[in-house]
């Protein structure tokens, strides 16, 4: 039984200078591979159910899947709601056994974002679980533009909401398939100078691996969300398996062949976040 809250895994990361991966799940195959990779590396892992995951599988089912995997894991596993947009959605995740809620009020004005996030934090903490908030807006590749996090607003947000982790916008962009520009380290330094709250980078797939390691071990960034990079690895493995034999039609047989490649790709991702080596 290694079910953990977000605070359980991020506070040691903050103290000991490493980061924990928030891995975007879409189904049983990837979440199972992510936990196997975390056990192989010997680090904690955050399983995340985002909007597209929830559109595919109901939250109460996802909560059971995450908790089942956590129960059997040798490393801490967090059951995390990614980008909850309403109080009711966060409430449903809590009732479904999630141990961490992310409320995304980042499209709203500061005062409204603070009020709404504080309400979710209060609900989460009353139930003994964690809450992540977002200040500044992290845009989407080919979609909405980002609005960078203002350090003064981040201070107010952290102080008034009581969040356990704070997602910031510092040059990161969701859904990037290439590791291009890198993040604004001056802005990160300005934000971490004014708050003790562990910082979170959404859109981690677009951050060059060397910079992930440098930030994980040298700043208060304690969580990197990784989705696209591992979705691409899964897609490649699935395509290879499907094309391997045109006569096969049983999907369990086909999907089985995605497991090892996805575990290997995930282990590479997890190994770059500065967690002390196993053994």
When binding is defined by CB under 5 A, the residue of 54, 80, 187, 202 that contacts Zn ion is 202
Whole-number Å distance between alpha carbons of 141 and 143:
5
Strand-pairing partners, residue 201, are: 224
Whole-number Å distance between alpha carbons of 144 and 179:
19
Strands 3-4 and 20-25: unpaired
Minimum distance from residue 105 beta carbon to Zn ion (Å): 13
Q: What is the DSSP letter of 82?
A: E
Write each residue from 249 to 268 as x if it is in contact with Zn ion (CB under 5 A), else as -, in one continuous string.
--------------------
Helices 110-126 and 87-95 cross at an angle (nearest 10°) of 20
Minimum distance from residue 152 beta carbon to Zn ion (Å): 23
Q: State yes or no: is 184 an active-site residue.
A: no
Quickly list DSSP for 202-243.
Answer: S-GGGS-HHHHHHHHHHSSEEEEEE-HHHHHHHHHHHHHHHH
Write each residue from 153 to 192 as x if it is in contact with Zn ion (CB under 5 A), else as -, in one continuous string.
----------------------------------------
Whole-number Å distance between alpha carbons of 44 and 74:
9
Q: 8, 30, 71, 82: which one is catalytic?
A: 82
Minimum distance from residue 195 beta carbon to Zn ion (Å): 20
Choose the binding region for Zn ion from 14-22, 185-193, 198-206, 271-279 (rule: CB under 5 A).
198-206
Residue nearest to Zn ion (CB): 202
* Residue 212 interacts with Zn ion (CB under 5 A): yes or no: no
What number of chain residues touch Zn ion (CB under 5 A)?
A: 1
What amino acid positions are annotated as catalytic residues? 82
Enumerate binding residues for Zn ion (CB under 5 A): 202
């Amino acid at each position: 039984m290694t079910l953990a809250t977000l605070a359980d895994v991020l506070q040691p990361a903050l103290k000991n200078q490493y980061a924990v991966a928030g891995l975007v799940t879409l189904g049983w195959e990837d979440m199972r591979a992510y936990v196997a990779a975390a056990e192989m590396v010997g680090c904690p892992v955050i399983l995340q159910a985002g909007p597209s995951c929830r559109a595919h599988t109901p939250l109460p089912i996802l909560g059971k899947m995450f908790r089942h995997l956590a129960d059997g894991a040798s490393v801490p596993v967090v059951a995390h709601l990614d980008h909850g947009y309403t109080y009711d959605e966060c409430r449903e995740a809590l009732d479904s056994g999630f141990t961490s809620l992310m409320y995304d009020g980042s499209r709203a004005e500061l005062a409204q974002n603070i009020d709404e996030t504080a309400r979710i934090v209060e609900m989460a903490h009353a139930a003994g679980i964690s809450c992540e908030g977002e200040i500044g807006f992290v845009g989407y590749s080919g979609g909405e533009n980002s609005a960078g996090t203002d350090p003064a607003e981040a201070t107010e947000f952290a102080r008034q909401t009581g969040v356990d982790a704070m997602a910031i916008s510092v040059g990161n962009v969701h859904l990037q398939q290439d590791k291009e520009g890198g993040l604004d380290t001056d802005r990160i330094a300005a934000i971490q100078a004014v708050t003790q709250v562990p910082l979170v980078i959404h859109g981690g797939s677009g951050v060059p691996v060397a910079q992930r390691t440098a930030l994980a071990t040298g700043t208060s960034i304690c969580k990197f969300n990784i989705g696209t990079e591992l979705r691409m690895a899964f897609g490649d493995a699935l395509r290879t398996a499907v094309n391997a034999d045109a006569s096969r039609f049983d999907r369990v047989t086909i999907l089985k062949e995605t497991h090892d490649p996805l575990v290997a790709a995930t282990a590479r991702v997890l190994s770059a976040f500065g967690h002390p080596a196993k053994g």
